[in-house]
Amino acid sequence: MKVIQSTERLVISEAELTDATFILELLNSPTWIQFIGDKGIYSMEDAENYIRKSLTNSYQTNGFGLYKLCFKETMVPIGLCGFLKRDYLDHPDIGFALLPDHEGKGLMLEASKALLEHALSKLGFDEVLAIVLPSNGKSCQLLGKLGFQEIGKVMPTGSQEELLLFSNKKSHSNGAASS
């Protein structure tokens, strides 16, 4: 297991094929389906392929990706948090998801702060973006707590749905840019 960061309550590490059961559960949780979308992960084989093609491939290709969040005491996985490189964005964006039982406890704020610090100090990011469905108030609230500001809207490649675009860069003007 390759540990990326450790916080007061969490160990943040690269996901492995042995995490397939957890990935299957997370990607089929109601909040994942509602706010991220159905990724077609319905079996252990699908989950293993997702780990290989999406998570492990990103670690190897980009030097970063979505990392597994585990409770420090038990090493039970509870979510994903990290960075994605999308062809329609100029900078990496932060992504996060928790199993529903663990929402509202400050865990994602804790993980996101640690990973943003990692992105600036170890990965050399000068800006991190975030994309969010307008209906996802909890994620918008979390981004605000992390110091992100809404800077506009973006239409992802192949999507029919416009997303809110946030940045952690302080030089952006306050408020959303018009589209």
Residues 14-50 have pLDDT tens digits of 999 999 999 999 999 999 999 999 999 999 999 999 9
pLDDT at 173 over 90: no
pLDDT digits (tens, 9 = 90+) for 109-148: 999 999 999 999 999 999 999 999 999 999 999 999 999 9
Q: What token pair was written down for 78?
A: 């509870």
**How far is it, in rounded angstroms, from Cα 95 to Cα 73?**
24
Q: What is the DSSP string of 12-24?
A: EE---GGGHHHHH
**How far is it, in rounded angstroms, from Cα 110 to Cα 105?**
10
Q: Which amino acid is at 122?
A: K
Task: Say what the pLDDT of residue 176 is.
Answer: 42
pLDDT at 93 over 70: yes
pLDDT band at 177 (very low <50, low <70, confident <90, very high): very low
What residues does each domain of the chain span? 3-126
pTM (two decimals): 0.92
Reference 119, options 173, 168, 51; nearest CA is 168
Q: What token pair was written down for 102?
A: 């663990």
CATH architecture under which domain 3-126 falls? 3-Layer(aba) Sandwich (3.40)
Residue entry with tokens 């209906």: 135
**How far is it, in rounded angstroms, from Cα 132 to Cα 155?**
11
